[in-house]
Each structure stands twice: as C-alpha cells, then as structure tokens.
Amino acid sequence: MKQFLLFIGALLISNSCTTESAYIKNTGKIYGTFYNIQYESPYGKNLQIEIEAELHNLTMSFSTFEKESVISKVNTNEEVLLDHYFINCFEKAQEVSQTTNGAFDISVAPLVNAWGFGFKHKELITSKLIDSLLLITGFEKVKLENNTIIKEFPEMMLDMSAIAKGYTCDLIGNLLAQKGCKNFLVEIGGEVVAKGVNKKGKSWTIGISKPDDNAFFANQQLQAIIGLQNKAMATSGNYRNFYVENGKKYAHTIDPKSGYPVQHSLLSATVLADDCQTADAYATAFMVMGLEQSILLSQQIPGIEVYFIYSENGSENEIYFSENFENLIK
C-alpha cells in the first residue's frame, strides 16, 4: 500500500513532434494503479508508445493479475523461462530480506491474502491458520538456481508488488534517458524517479500527504513538501493505511515472521535512494520493523535518507527524518 503523492508544477502536454524540445505528460494504468510520467522530450516527440511497450513487458513479468505472467506461472508451479526483469527483482528482494532479517519478504502473499485488504477477513483468522501459512512463508525457503525458482513447498506464492513498482520506475527512467531525455519525473503508484529539472528549471516538487483516516484524496493535507532532483523516492503507508485499536493507530502491515499485523507507532516511511527499486523495498521493510529499529538500520545503509511519520499513544503525528533529508524540505 503506497502513499498518495501530490506533484506540484505546471505541465505542458504535447502530442505532436516539433523541432524543439517540449515537456510532455503521459498517464495510464499498470499493476492495478496509475502512472504519471513527465519529461522534456527532444524535438517534442511523444514517447508514450515506447513507454507502453516497456510497461507491457514488465506487466507480463510481475503482475499477479495476468495468468500468463512470469510470476503467476512461478506461483502455479508451471514451467516458465524467467526473464531478466524477474531475476533482477528477485535477487534484489532477497538481498533486502537478508539485510532486514526478513522484514521484507516477497513470499508473504499467502498471509496477506488471508487477512484481506484492510484486514477485512480478520474474523476468520485463527492461530492454527497462521501457523499453517507460516510454514509456506519465508524468503529463505525460496531460491534462484540455474535461472529457475526453487520453492521448499509448492504452495508458496510470491508477490513483488512491494518492489516491482519502484523497479519499473527505474526502467522507464532508463528508457527516457536512452531516448535523450535529460529532465523527467516517473511516478507509478506513489513511487518516484526524478532526473534534472521541471519546466521552470527547478527541482521537481513533491508533497508527502499526512496519514489521515478522515480524509479523501481530494482534500489531502501535506505533511511535507520536498524538492527532488536526480533521486528516487518511495513511500509505504497509504493515506488511510492504518486502523485504530484501543485509541492507538496501527499500520495495515503484516509481519512476515509472526504472521500478524505489526503493532507499533510508525504510520508512514519515505525512503530516498539512488534507485527506486531500493527505496521501494526498504520503505516496505521499515513499515514492518517500526520506528526504533528502522532508524538504527537506516543509519547503517549507505546512500539512503528517510522520513518517518509516527504517532505515540494516539498523539498527534510526529516526524523523524535523517540529516540530509532535511536539506530537501521546502
């Protein structure tokens, strides 16, 4: 579940080729969410056809909604040729799983499915069910050998939604760069890659919205506004991605190791990194780990900056951010 982001700045939309560069905006859907891509295109060429072609390739690798996708065939134990997209993402996911001691785990799908979106099936949850699902959960129980996924149990299911959107942002950014675009912003479901500057010649400006269980998208209040340039950003903790129990807020996040929802104060984790794949995975992991552990680990990982929103004992939202993140806040 990913934080809703506001992008601030004027856009010039062009659908025709000219002899001059022009800022263009392309929008659409992928992975059950929306993408928004803005770029200064050389000669004013609209690149949406090329973008859509790459997005289709990625959908057929990572989308669990597509029966013929690579990940769907892995989950149903069908013979499948793993593409380089899948292999790259799997290896990165396993790396982050190791670093976070399993807080990030792409094998958590059976547990997430059992609880349901927003924990709507929680009345069906029993300790016996959780114990049975934990048997088929665990990143160490799945391996990549000779370009084949080896699962300890055939019932295991993978879900890369917590890393694939970030990786897709990186790849679309690479595509734009190959087409000669030096200034662009790629956003997919709240994950962002920003390069160069916007039409006004300034850093891309992004608003991080407050977690608010009473708000709708149309009237979101901003917790912070930052300027992003030549960086990637991902946020975990949707604008309504928490629930209240005994007067305290908890995020709608499943701990892969316990099988139960986490119960800590962290409501939203934003991560900056050089690539969005890394930012995406760690933002998810931090939402599992909680505030104190996330602060400690984030200080040990080179090249990332963090911005955490948390609430102690039902109090007003509080903020923690790393030292270099402060330089980006406007």
At CA 271, angle to CA 318 and CA 316, rounded to 5? Answer: 10
Is 276 a residue whose pLDDT tops 80?
Answer: yes
**Distance between CA 159 and CA 71 in Å, rounded?**
8
What is the rounded (10 degree) CA torsion for 62, 217, 251, 8? Answer: 80
What is the predicted pLDDT for the residue at 220?
A: 55
* Secondary structure element (H or E) that encloses residue 285, with its range: helix 276-289
Please state the pTM of the whole predicted model. Answer: 0.89
- The pLDDT-based confidence of 263 (bands split at 50, 70, 90) is confident
32-64 pLDDT per residue, tens: 889 999 999 998 999 999 999 999 999 999 999
Residue 35 pairs in a beta bridge with: 28, 188
